[in-house]
Structure 1
Amino acid sequence: MNDESFEQINGIALAYMGDAIYEVYIRRHLIAAGLTKPNKLHRIATHFVSAKAQAFLITKMEEEDLLTPVEQEYFKRGRNAKSHTTAKNTSVLTYRISTGFEALFGYLYLSEQTQRLDELAQWCIVTIEGKKDELGQD
């Protein structure tokens, strides 16, 4: 995709793509870890892909100054986008922050920044695996 194409995409559409891309990273990680039962895969995947987990991750990224200024712009584009849907079992603020997280992943994917996408996805996996207690997860 050329620069003009993804730059014109709204935050919700970027989040739609980013949600799918991040989910693939998580599913690949869980299968590589030897998990094969669908119910267990789904239950464990939610620790990584829930709105609460994604909001936690983007907050940690900001605290550790991991994002470039351009990446921050795309996060904010998703976070500030007007959505006509809301997530179950989470606040509007958490949902909006997680939408920004997904928009960031959508931007990285559509701009073909594969190495950066791999780097952030791996950082997210390591971070969630080390911090499940902070998220209230087992």
Structure 2
Amino acid sequence: MTEKNWALLNGLALAYVGDAIYEVYIRDYLVGLGYTKPSQLHKTATHFVSAKAQSFLMHEMIAIEGFLTEEEFVMYKRGRNSKSYTSAKNADVTTYRVATGFESLMGYLHLAKKTERMEELIHWCTQKVEDTKDDKR
């Protein structure tokens, strides 16, 4: 089988995969922390996977000079700039688009088999969310 150039895939397709893969990593993370009740898992997961959370995380990544590679930033923008015909239930259009860009980046890293980098970013995201939750306590 020939190697695909995943960078050519449209942003919404990348986001479709990224949404699923990020959700799985977050579920694994939460179960690893000891969360077991479905309602507790769902409520806690929203701190990580909601459009608002993903938009926050993306803005934080962008704010750190050199944190994302040029290629990663391009994949984020591909998702952010994609014309979507749906919107989030609990987010404004801008937040939803930035979150779509976040998911697009995750989808690209997964499909391109850049697992180590994807896991590095996801670990950074979980720590950022945990730090933010600690600040609010």
Q: Classify the TM-score, shorter chain.
A: over 0.9
- Please list every run of 5 or more consecutive structure 2 residues that lacks an aligned counterpart in the other structure: none
Residue 9 of structure 1, CA deviation: 1.2
User: Who is 2:30 aligned against?
Assistant: 30
- Unaligned segments of structure 1, at least 5 residues: none
Q: In percent, how many aligned pairs have the same letter? A: 53
Structure 1 residue 7 displacement after superposition: 2.4
1:45 aligned onto 2:45? yes
Alignment of 1:24-103 (within 5 A): 24-65=24-65, 66-103=67-104
By how many angstroms is 1:133 displaced?
6.9
Post-superposition shift, 1:82? 0.3
RMSD of equivalent CA atoms: 1.6
Contact 2:15 2:105 in 1 (8 A): yes
Runs of 4+ in 1 over 4 A off after TM superposition: none
Tell me, yes or no, if the aligned pair for 1:2 and 1:111 is still in contact at 8 Å.
no
Partner of 1:132, secondary structure, is helix
Post-superposition offset of 1:75: 0.1
- TM-score relative to the length of structure 1: 0.93
CA contact (8 A) 2:10 2:78 kept: yes
Equivalence for 2:15: 15
1:132 and 2:133 aligned:
yes
